[in-house]
Amino acid sequence: MSNRLLIVDDAMIMRLRIREIATQAGWEVVGEAADGNQAIEMFRRLKPDLVTMDIVMPSMDGVDALQAIREAAPNARVCMVSALNQREKLAECIRLGAIDFVVKPFEKSQLISLFEKQGRIQ
């Protein structure tokens, strides 16, 4: 049984890149969301093993979505994927329960490492 991933990013190109790398790492991408509201709804419906979450998005940002997901599912594993200039927001996300973060632009090897590490936790 493969690990299930929900990708959350408002940029389609980033979702495609993460999907490509996750698939190569043996993960099943069960959904993609473009904002925090979609992320929460899809998380509840799909119950993924891991969520990659952008911070800056329209409608609802990744910080608020992370908080809502962790309130609904305290054991949810969410990894933030955002730009380095969001350092304060990344720190806030870790305090709110994000398990890790990857800084954009990222190297393929960084995401592969994340997926391998999280896959072993299953």
Q: What is the predicted pLDDT for the residue at 90? A: 86
- pTM (predicted TM-score): 0.95
What is the domain count for the chain? Answer: 1
Find the CATH number of the domain harbouring 49. 3.40.50.2300
Model pLDDT, residue 122? 62
pLDDT given for residue 86 in this prediction: 77
The residues, any chain, with a CB within 8 Å of residue 96's CB and separated by 6 or more, are 63, 66, 67, 70
- C-alpha span between 83 and 67 (Å, rounded): 19
Spatial distance between the Cα atoms of 26 and 108, rounded to a whole number of angstroms: 14
For 97, the domain range is 3-121
Low-confidence ranges of the chain (pLDDT < 70): 1, 122
At residue 2, the pLDDT reads: 78
Distance separating alpha carbons of residues 41 and 72, to the nearest angstrom: 11
